[in-house]
Amino acid sequence: MTSDPSYYRWTQWIFLRLFSHWYDKAADKARPVEELIAHFRQHGTHGLQAFSAEYRSFSAQEWSSMSPVDQAEILMNYRLAYRKESFVNWCEALGTVLANDEVKDGLSERGGHPVERKPMLQWSLRITAYAERLLGDLEKLDWSDALKTMQRNWIGRSEGAQVFFRLDGHQQCLEIFTTRPDTIFGVSFMVLAPEHEWVQLLTTPDHKEEMDAYLTYVKTRTERERQSEVKQVTGVFTGAHAIHPFTGELIPVWVSEYVLKDYGAGAIMAVPADDERDRAFAEKFQLPVPEIIDRKEWPDAGREDRRGWLVNSGFLDGMLIPDAIEAVIRRLEQEGCGARRVNYKLRDALFSRQRYWGEPFPIVYNRDGVAVPVPDDQLPVTLPDLDNFQPTKEGKAPLARLAEWVQLADGSMRETDTMPGYAGSSWYFLRYMDAGNATSFAGEEELQYWKEVDFYIGGTEHAVGHLMYARFWHKFLFDLGRVPTAEPFRRLVNQGMIQGVIESLWLAREKKDGSHYFLSADLLEEKDRSQYVAIPVLIDFVRDYGTDLSYLDGEGLGKFVAWRPEYKEAIFECGQGVWQNGQFMPKKAGAVSSRMVTYSEVGKMSKSKFNVINPDDVVATYGADCFRMYEMFLGPIEQSKPWDTKGIDGVSKFLRRFWAMYVGEDGKMLLSEDAPGREMERILHQTIRKVRDDLERLSLNTCISHFMICLNELRRLECRSAAVLEPLIRLLAPFAPHITEELWHRIGHQGSVHLAPYPEADPELLLADEILYPVSINGKKRAELMAPRETAPSDLERAALSLPDIQRWLLGLEVKKVIVVPGRMINIVAG
RNA sequence: GCCGAAGUGGCGGAAUGGUAGACGCGCUAGACUCAAAAUCUAGUGUCAGCAAUGGCGUGCGGGUUCGAGUCCCGCCUUCGGUACCA
């Protein structure tokens, strides 16, 4: 649906709104760019509180004298959809950009080619402008705490200070962010991210060679690796020095991959005395570690507890940490070399993809290269047909191949990147409210009627991706007055993931005799594991799928290399022999067939893992109702588990028996108008109550078992009474929508069963006349007692004590106390 | 490391502090059938016993309680999330 032009027309439309709006921090909402331009014209940047990437100030006059190209560039700093240089995982050999998922240990998952971090001009969405609201509004939502915590951590708000350090021999000041400005007297070095724009500028000639080598090394490392290998400390000295704002001391400036470009200012002041990473770095490179916090009074306190007295810290000496933080910020502000600052871990969302399948951007570039929106009345910009979906040699998106599509008559050129999957998925729920609307993404009246999504059931895998983007788009549309609520999803429950088994082959990192070399999983020893990369295999090729010994036979290997031509000539070491180019060469006589064991692990079912099981097959065999009920029956909704059809027959039997209750083998209806027995009514009403209760707490698996129990009992009673069986259809309708609808019509109703009222339990009919009491001695059950519902506790006690079994057990014991819980149990305390 | 969740038969799982293992799968036996499938009936935690019956049983060790899978304390294990976040 999101890939249909009549839908993505509105995705493009929303994108253009994002493009033409900026975030006003004073009003705390998005406003049209025209208003920003008006402000620039009158006041320049004076008095402006806007969310932007760079802080630049200019006067009204300076603005007016700028060229249109320069003005456009300035505006890009403010637009909510904007273009900037971003780092991507570039794979030269494949000529494409890869997702973090597709890169393993610096090599592409496909083919094992080197991948490097490369800056490219990309569209991004300024979600960071909404960070505070995305954080604050979480409070109002009826979501699980686990999910809220995840979003909070992802947004990662931290309070601290930005500090500017003058640089020795340079004009510029180096900006850093710290949550602990009080430790400023403990700074013994500075660290820049390798991508920091001043690395080249600051590196002195005698350190240049070492720095270039280091930067080359860092390029081969993905962000994920840089963040996961905590133990290895690497870095290079630039040769430059910063000047301490209070002491005037010279502080060496280093570059290290442990500092990330996109967080804070991309540079830190390192305080080895109070930061583990800084300390490890100082130890490795023998930098001083000045002590500045005295924690003697709080021996158990960690860094996070912020307990301690400041020492060796100039004017901060003798202060407690929280007081020192306040004092130092005040002083930094007075001296104009720093300010209080709130920082977020959340980063702007990369919105460009160099792929074919995606919504085209409704953007053209004029002769000056300025991005210009396609007018609303020319939307949608549709995805043109293409016969080659590869990126171009220069790394441009596949659409760039279509010169006649890209090049417009007036000399301007179309954007050739496409939008990512989450573009369409960020607002689809709004389209459901008014799917056919041709003049708006959804009509105002419809939006007012439906408002937001009352109840959203989704997997945790969307916790910080989809759910964050959708909230952001929704808030933006709310600012525009286009949706009535500030949040899209009021209540949210995380269902467990249906997992799959991921099957992979081990590929050696090093080629053997110039060929790719795969090793059967049963032959790989633990110690050699780091020398191999797991290459996922389409599970259709695998024999004994899901077992420890799942494998590819010769046929499977043939399919594998046909599917992955880059491994056409690879060597497959199978143990008993070697398979290559469709031939199996046994090592010794007697080995007949190849058996390439795959590595199996339970994980999410995902297109990228090639382990998706299509429910169509199950639906074709068992029907959609059965599939639906079996999924419910599997277990608690929030629990993840691998997909397994082992128990599906039970549900299938239930549905067939259910049908057989109503319809005879000759197709005739079996219902009678006879008055139902009391027991039948009780069974029905107890089932109604239990199903309603369990539905309320989303315990769907127990609902299904209540239906099974109900059916078993009604079958035992040979129930045909319409007074019982008619409400039962309505009760089952949400669980088995098709079969119930069919039965509903067969028993003579016209409308849909799904519009009929849901049955309510009659409390009068719920209670059984007799209750079977367990009789325990000291908490151990020794006998049972059947008694009428209204029996008084004292009578129950007498009856229990007189049971023969109980008398036998009580021989030689003294009864000390009898506990009777009416309707529940009887316990005799004896000793 | 931190945060979160969970440990119950051969398996998926059930149990407001009150009969542990509901319901289903699987398995065993029987009925129907020439036979099989399908269907139906019965049994199925474990140990001892022909049986009646009894002992033991919810990861491990303690505790609270008339009574603990459930509550409390301490451990173990597994799964999920997350991490050079300055």
Q: What is the pLDDT of residues A254-291, one digit of tens each?
A: 998 888 887 788 899 998 887 877 888 888 888 888 88
Amino acid A544 CA to nucleotide B32 C1' distance, rounded Å: 36
Q: For residues A426 and A469, is the Cβ–Cβ distance under 8 A?
A: yes
Confidence of residue A804 (pLDDT cuts 50, 70, 90): confident
- Write out pLDDT tens, residues A543-563: 767 666 677 888 888 888 888
Sign of CA dihedral A173, A174, A177, A179: negative
* More confidently predicted of A526 and A792: A792
A775 sits in which H/E element: strand A770-777
What's residue A42's pLDDT?
93
The reported pLDDT for the residue numbered A376 is: 92
User: What residues does A660 pair with on adjacent strands?
Assistant: none
Q: Are A441 and A15 in contact (CB under 8 A)?
A: no
| Confidence band, pLDDT 50/70/90 cuts, at residue A723 | very high
The answer for residues whose C-beta is within 8 angstroms of residue A513's C-beta and 6 or more apart is: none
| pTM beyond cutoff 0.80 | no
The pair of structure tokens assigned to A405 is 């599509």
The pLDDT of residue A825 is above 80:
yes
| Pairwise CA distance, residues A354 & A361, whole Å | 12
Query: How confident is the model at residue A32, as a pLDDT?
Result: 96
Report which of residues 162-191 in chain A place their beta carbon less than 7 angstroms from any atom of strand B: 176-180
Q: How many CA atoms lie less than 13 Å away from A124 in the CB half-sphere?
A: 22
Residue that wins the pLDDT comparison between A336 and A549 = A336
Give the nucleotide nearest to A773 (CA→C1'). Answer: B19
Q: Which residue has the higher pLDDT, A524 or A805?
A: A805
CA pair distance A481, A476, nearest whole angstrom: 9
Q: What's the CA gap between A415 and A400, in Å, rounded?
A: 8
Of chain A, the percentage scoring pLDDT greater than 90 comes to 32
Q: Which nucleotide is nearest to A708 (CA to C1')?
A: B23
Q: Which of A806, A745, A765 is nearest to A678 (CA)?
A: A765
Of residues A191, A197, A192, A212, the one with CA closest to residue A87: A197
**Which one has a higher pLDDT value, A549 or A340?**
A340
More confident residue, A101 or A806: A806
pLDDT tens readout for residues A467-480? 888 899 999 999 99
Look up residue A417 and give its two tokens: 């990147």
* Comparison of pLDDT for A471 and A86, the residue scoring more: A471
> CB of residue A247 closer than 7 A to nucleic acid strand B?
no
Which one, of A595, A599, A713, A732, lies nearest residue A659 by Cα?
A732
**How confident is the model at residue A105, as a pLDDT?**
62
- How far from each other are the two terminal CA atoms of chain A, in whole angstroms? 73
Q: What percent of chain A has pLDDT over 70?
A: 92
* CA gap A199, A215 in Å, rounded: 10
pLDDT at A673 over 70: yes
Give me the amino acid identity at A178: T
Cβ of A232 near strand B (under 7 Å)? The reply is: yes
Confidence (pLDDT) at A303:
63
CA distance A634 to A647: 8
Query: Residue A306: is its pLDDT beyond 80?
Result: no
- Give the mean pLDDT of chain A: 85
**Distance between CA atoms of residues A539 and A547, nearest Å:** 12
Chain A residues 384-403 within 7 Å (CB) of strand B: none
- H or E segment at A85? strand A81-91
H helices then E strands: how many in chain A? Answer: 27, 36
Give the Cα separation of A162 and A270 in Å (integer): 14
Q: What does the alpha-carbon distance between residue A787 and residue A772 come to, in Å, rounded to a whole number? A: 6
**Chain segment A214-226, per-residue pLDDT in tens:** 888 887 776 656 6
Residue A801 CA, nucleotide B64 C1', distance (Å): 28
Mean pLDDT for the stretch of residues A48-59: 82
Q: What are phi and psi for residue A815, nearest 5 degrees? A: -80, 120
* CB-strand contact A602/B, under 7 Å: yes
Largest alpha-carbon pair distance within chain A? 108
Is A94's pLDDT higher than 90?
no
Q: Do residues A601 and A545 lie in contact, with contact meaning Cβ atoms separated by under 8 Å? A: no
Instruction: Give the pLDDT confidence score for residue A225 in this predicted structure.
Output: 62
* Average pLDDT value for residue range A714-736: 93
> Quick one: tokens of A64?
């007016």
Give the pLDDT score at A109: 64
**C1' (B27) to CA (A57) span, angstroms:** 80
Q: What is the pLDDT of residue A345?
A: 82
Q: Which nucleotide, over all strands, has the C1' atom closest to the CA of A648?
A: B25
Please report the beta strands in A663-779, taking only residues with DSSP state E, as ranges in sequence order: 770-777
A598 touches strand B (CB under 7 A): no
- The pLDDT confidence band at residue A714, using thresholds 50, 70 and 90, is very high
Q: How many C-beta atoms lie closer than 10 Å to residue A229's C-beta?
A: 13
Task: Phi first, then psi: give them for residue A127, nearest 5 degrees.
Answer: -65, -25
By C-alpha distance, which of A59, A21, A24, A19 is closest to A40? Answer: A59
The per-residue pLDDT for range A617-633, each reduced to its tens digit, is: 889 989 999 999 998 99
Question: What does the pLDDT read at residue A252?
Answer: 94
Beta strands across the sheet bearing A770-777: A780-788, A770-777, A825-830, A815-821
The pLDDT assigned to A70 comes to 92
pLDDT at A111 over 70: no
